[in-house]
Amino acid sequence: MHCQLLIPDLFWPEREFRDIYRELATPALEQLLGKGRRRTEFVSVEAEQVTARQVAATSAEAWLCTHFGVDKQRDWPAAPYCLLADGGEPGRHHWFRADPVHLKLEGGRLVLADSGTFSISQQEAESVTESLNAHFFADGLTFYPLRPDRWYLRSETAPALETTELAAAAGRSIDTLLPRGADAQTWRTRLNDVQMLLHGLAVNEARESAGKAPINSVWLWGGGTLSDAVSAPIDALWSRDPLAAGLAQAARIAARDLPDNAADWLRASASEGVNLVVLDRLRGAAQYGDAHGWREGMQQLERDWFAPLLEALRLERIGMLSLYALGPEGVLAAEVTRGDLRRFWRRLKPLADYAWP
């Protein structure tokens, strides 16, 4: 069996915070990286200067679309595939993710918090989108709250618009991350209309009275249509990510929920073929600068995934393990077999040494 691991945010996004790796015990991960045959693709810019386009170049969404042979449109077309995974029917329409968010004023800048930081009920989602649909009906726009935390927007026409993925915007100022392109001004105006409309909604007044963050905007991203063809580079997918699940569904590949640990996964897998496992445990902590949460997540991945997979490789329960680590400066890929583990001349390095080119 060939196991592919996709791990967003394996490296901390702030270059200057090297101490975050201090006393972080990841011997199994360092074995896999050190003994494996590595390939790196780095974006050479400072973290503060990363543009929306550069962030997308190394995102999980970009990697997944590329892996399944889906070309970039103006955006990486995440929305129609997420919609597919959530039980919708994309058809040939143009779709955006239009996720509920909370914008907070911090130091004169609007900073985005996604729904991972607050709760929202299906009833609240339907109430908000009902008001949005009434307002934007004449513009040929329809919002669909298929899940409380994942909304979709169907546009009758495909706008000339590039957006920033929600994962790249979460926890950051939105000033430089707003929609770009020939139709940007029209859509920025619409987003302003959305914020004005949501400001006065009863559902938000009730949320604020209850001490909850109001849903004061939506974040458009992942626009596009279904591709005519999706390749099938794997035999099974294990993930909690809706884009990965939708791509697998489009490619007619088995898509299963991610188990809690590698031991459960090894028992559940067919022990053959190519299996893609998406480990996104670190994503939220990295987005919001939660160093403690990120370190805890790393230790959990080491204990529950990296160490058991290393042992499975030694015992030949896995024939090859390919690891794809996505970070702020690019992709670090490593392929390792049991034979590679015996190559004593391949020097092991601490995890921090892999974080910079």
Q: Count the neighbouring beta carbons within 10 Å of the beta carbon of residue 147.
A: 17
pLDDT at 269: 85
Local confidence pLDDT in tens for the 357 residues of the chain: 999 999 999 999 887 787 899 999 999 999 999 998 887 764 433 433 434 334 334 799 999 999 999 999 999 999 999 999 999 999 999 999 999 999 999 988 999 999 999 999 999 999 999 999 999 999 999 999 999 999 999 998 899 999 999 999 999 999 999 999 999 999 999 999 999 999 989 999 999 999 999 999 999 999 999 998 899 999 999 999 999 999 999 999 999 999 999 999 999 987 679 999 999 999 999 999 999 999 999 999 999 999 999 999 999 999 999 999 987 777 889 999 999 888 877 788 888 888 765
Compute the mean pLDDT over every residue in the chain, rounded to the nearest whole number. Answer: 91
pLDDT digits (tens, 9 = 90+) for 183-209: 999 999 999 999 999 998 999 999 999
pTM score: 0.91
pLDDT digits (tens, 9 = 90+) for 335-352: 999 998 888 777 888 888
Kindly list the structural domains of the chain, giving each domain's residue range(s) and its CATH number in brackets, ordered by start.
2-71+231-354 (3.40.720.10), 94-224 (no CATH)
Residue 214 sits at φ, ψ, to 5 deg, of -70, 150
Residue 32 sits at φ, ψ, to 5 deg, of -65, -40
Nearest Cα residue to 220 out of 199, 246, 192: 192
Helices 307-314 and 27-35: angle between axes, nearest 10 degrees: 50
- Give start and end residues of each alpha helix (H) in the chain: 27-35, 52-57, 60-67, 78-85, 122-136, 166-169, 184-199, 202-209, 242-250, 262-268, 283-287, 291-301, 307-314, 338-341
pLDDT at 49: 42
Cβ 197 vs Cβ 53: under 8 Å: no
pLDDT at 45: 37
pLDDT at 18: 79
pLDDT at 356: 62
Q: What's the token pair of residue 226?
A: 């279904």
Cβ 219 vs Cβ 56: under 8 Å: no
pLDDT at 220: 98
